[in-house]
Amino acid sequence: MNILNKIVADKKAEVIQKKKLLPISYLETSPLFERHCNSLVKKIKINDFGIIAEFKRRSPSKKNINSSLSVTKVAKEYEEAGVSGMSVLTDGKYFSGSLEDLILSRSIISLPLLRKDFVIDEYQIIEAKANGADVILLIAAVLSRKEIKNFSSLANNLGLEVLLEVHNLEEIEKSIMPTIDLFGVNNRNLKTFEVSLETSRSLAEKIPDQFLKVSESGISDTNSIKELIEFGYKGFLIGENFMKSDHPGDTAKDFIRRITQ
């Protein structure tokens, strides 16, 4: 069993337990459930490009990245740095994240927040809305076309935007539907964790122009951003490159400054 299959299996067991502890009827009573979501698409389109800065303590491939930083401190720094949105890992077992990180971020910044997790059940989408998310991540590699359609439709009905993550042409073709807002090309192979920006370059023209294109993972220099902009990408999700710093916000601010020079 590869790491992706193991994560999904563990996530299914986790969701079963969550449903017993906190049913949907309880989630819908959250004060955040009725809030109007902030649009990541609109935020990115304001400029020529948009950085989605990630808060990530660890990952299966890199182990510990930076576990000492406060999520509220980083969130505030990211907002002040001028990023377009913030991605918050909420998986606990493999990424040391939590829904509390999402709630705390929501309490201190107005940036669009992406709940980054392995969504395999409609419950998690309602949970995302109840905890302050504006955007959810759907990973085509672990979902059928029917699941993508059902999950994205539910998200849209709740006012959430959908970032659909792909790794190849087959995943793009099964995911093209009007309920998707952003197409994210992950440069990291989730089965081997190898990273190559060639994935974004080769798939760019396969994604219809009506979708905002986002390149994810392995982006560590500004020249890569400038090159990928030429391939039609408007959004760039960056985590490790910022989080390995003691001051992720300062690193993000300098990164954005160098792109615009």
Give the residue among 132, 139, 140, 14 at the shortest CA–CA distance from 75. Answer: 132
**pLDDT digit string, tens, across residues 134-193:** 999 999 999 999 999 999 999 999 999 999 999 999 999 999 999 999 999 999 887 777
> What is the model's pLDDT at position 193?
76
Whether 87 is catalytic is no
Predicted TM-score (pTM) of this structure: 0.95
Give the residue among 152, 147, 181, 187 at the shortest CA–CA distance from 38. Answer: 181
Confidence of residue 1 (pLDDT cuts 50, 70, 90): low
How many Å apart are CA 222 and CA 231, to the nearest integer? Answer: 15
Per the structure block, which two tokens stand in for 39?
């649009």
How many Å apart are CA 130 and CA 139, to the nearest integer? Answer: 21
* Domain CATH for 17: 3.20.20.70
Whether 217 is catalytic is yes
Under 8 Å CB-to-CB from 77, ≥6 apart: which residues? 247, 248, 249, 250, 252
Whether 56 is catalytic is yes
Which amino acid is it at 242?
A: F
> What is the model's pLDDT at position 161?
98
> What is the model's pLDDT at position 210?
94
Q: Which domain holds residue 238?
A: 3-30+38-260
Answer with the residue of higher pLDDT: 64 or 84: 84
**Given the residues 11, 216, 234, 240, the one annotated as active site:** 216
Under 8 Å CB-to-CB from 9, ≥6 apart: which residues? 1
- Whether the pLDDT of residue 228 is over 70: the answer is yes
HSE at residue 147, side-chain half, CA atoms within 13 A, is 18
Whether 186 is catalytic is yes
Under 8 Å CB-to-CB from 49, ≥6 apart: which residues? 225, 229, 233, 234, 235, 236, 259
How many Å apart are CA 243 and CA 248, to the nearest integer? Answer: 5
**Given the residues 87, 175, 186, 200, the one annotated as active site:** 186
**What are φ and ψ of residue 160, in 5° steps?**
-90, 145
Paired with 216 in beta bridges are 186, 237
Whether 200 is catalytic is no
Under 8 Å CB-to-CB from 68, ≥6 apart: which residues? none
Whether 93 is catalytic is no
> What is the model's pLDDT at position 15?
98
Whether 76 is catalytic is no
User: What's the total number of domains in the chain?
Assistant: 1
Query: Which pairs count as long-range contacts for 5-11, CB under 8 Å and 24+ apart, including other chains?
Result: 7/60, 7/91, 7/93, 7/94, 7/118, 8/118, 8/120, 8/142, 10/93, 10/94, 11/91, 11/117, 11/118, 11/120
**Given the residues 152, 187, 215, 217, the one annotated as active site:** 217
**Given the residues 11, 43, 56, 129, the one annotated as active site:** 56
Per the structure block, which two tokens stand in for 42?
């609109």
**Given the residues 11, 43, 116, 234, the one annotated as active site:** 116
**pLDDT digit string, tens, across residues 79-129:** 999 999 999 999 999 999 999 999 999 999 999 999 999 999 999 999 999
Per the structure block, which two tokens stand in for 17?
């337990």
Per the structure block, which two tokens stand in for 25?
């009827």
107, burial (CB in 10 Å: exposed 0-12, middle 13-18, buried 19+): exposed
